Homo-oligomer: A and B are copies of this chain.
Amino acid sequence: MAAAADVPALRWGVMGCANIAKKNVKAIKAAAGNTLVAVASRSQERAAAWAAEQGLDTESGAVTAHGSYDELLADERVQAVYMPLPTTMHLEWVRKAAAAGKHVLVEKPVAVCAADLRLMAEACAAAGVVLMDGVMFMHHERLPRMGALLGAGELGAAERVVSGFSFPADKAFLEGDIRVKADCDPLGCVGDLGWYNVRFSLWAFGYEMPERVSAVTSRWTDGGRVPTETSATLVFSGGRHSTFACGFHTAFSQWAEVGTSGGLLRLEDFVVAAGPDSVRYTVRRPGGLIDDARRVAPVTETETEVLGCNQEASMFESFAACVRAGAASEAAAFWPEISLKTQLVVDAIMQSSKEGGKLVDVAPVSV
């Protein structure tokens, strides 16, 4: 969505020079109604060098390179903070950002547990600032189009949602990346990848919460504390079912499928769009078995191409719209709530993993 011409652009500061921040710097530049005014690292030199690498103009003062996160939060030009810090740092810095009156877009997983996420959400609500997680696929225009097919739509309600998300990490990653260090990202593959799988399932079931969760983590690292290969089953009311597998040991793949009794909605690129300007979703209506079960009837397949959406830029545009609508608005309040739902499911996955696959109840959203 384009910002109204008379509304000044939302001014962003980037807190931390993580790799993922590179794509979001590009996204902020590409997003209507958003502008980047500051970056911060733990040293001024590093912040300046990183800013230069991203082609940001620190010479003219258009972008300030701060030598600490506190300086970034003290920067009066900064209205909103993009936070790609390690997960264990989110609670401290989201609360500090809120206290400084800055809106926050925080990378997933939002927190190491739901109790922390509640504290963050409370801090942001009290300060009247927007809190959103960095799940960019939520902002692609194909999502509402696909959503219209489900529920009361042409395909009907989801019966089973299955997804997979993997990439093959090398030895160095598995031993030293922050995403496999218990003191940085203790949720490992469940936080880094599974967060998306869980979110997709929640989306497909209309944000209904699963009742129970069973999960198996078959590989751990960092002294058996951080999961690197996990699968989970989410059981929804009436026995509707979602399963996914995520991990750092299999070739890159990111597919998702929503099955209803009459058809299947399938994506080969549910998290990262295959191309920013052309993504597809496929609707399959299988004919079942024919010839006395010897052959399969042809599948009626509809491929839909959706053009002209850069999901990362769209995320920042959604965020700016929430800021304009106010943190208490329905549009803005949606995000911490679904973050919390996602986190509650992730927490149950971690608990079940540690308890050897046992089905565990998912904690209630309201406490």
Chain A positions near chain B (C-beta within 8 angstroms): 19-20, 22-23, 26-27, 159-160, 162, 164, 166-168, 214, 216, 218-220, 229, 231, 233, 235-236, 238-241, 243, 245, 247, 249-254, 257, 259-264, 269, 272-276, 284-289, 291-296, 312, 352, 356-359
Contact = CB atoms under 8 A, between A and B. Distances in A.
Nearest to A160: B250
A358 to B, nearest CB: 5
Contact of A292 (B22, B162, B289): B22
Contacts of A22: 292-293
A contact patch SS: mixed
Given A240-B218, A251-B261, A272-B295, A359 B356 contact: yes
Given A23-B293, A357-B357, 17 more contacts: A20-B293, A214-B216, A214-B357, A216-B233, A216-B359, A218-B233, A218-B239, A220-B239, A231-B241, A241-B245, A251-B284, A253-B264, A253-B284, A253-B286, A273-B296, A276-B294, A352-B357
Please name the 10 residue pairs, one residue from A and one from B, whose CB atoms are nearest each other, closest first: A214-B357, A219-B239, A250-B259, A218-B239, A22-B292, A252-B286, A168-B261, A216-B233, A357-B359, A356-B359
A289 B251 CA distance: 12
A251 B285 contact: yes
A231 B233 contact: yes
Contact of A312 (B284, B294, B357): B294
Instruction: Please tell me how many copies of the chain the complex holds.
Output: 2
B289 A252 contact: yes
Contacts of A264: 250-251, 253
A186 B126 CA distance: 56
A241 B252 contact: no
A278 to B, nearest CB: 10
8 contacts: A19-B293, A159-B249, A162-B164, A229-B241, A239-B249, A251-B263, A269-B296, A273-B296
B216 A162 contact: no
Contacts of A26: 292, 294
A289 B192 CA distance: 15
A274 B295 contact: yes
Contacts of A214: 214, 216, 356-357
Given A233-B216, A241-B218, A262-B168, A160 B292 contact: no
Contacts of A218: 233, 235-236, 239-241
A239 B248 CA distance: 12
A348 to B, nearest CB: 12
Nearest to A264: B251
A292 B19 contact: yes
Contacts of A358: 356-358
A82 B261 CA distance: 32
A238 B218 CA distance: 8
Given A260-B251, A261-B250, A272 B243 contact: no
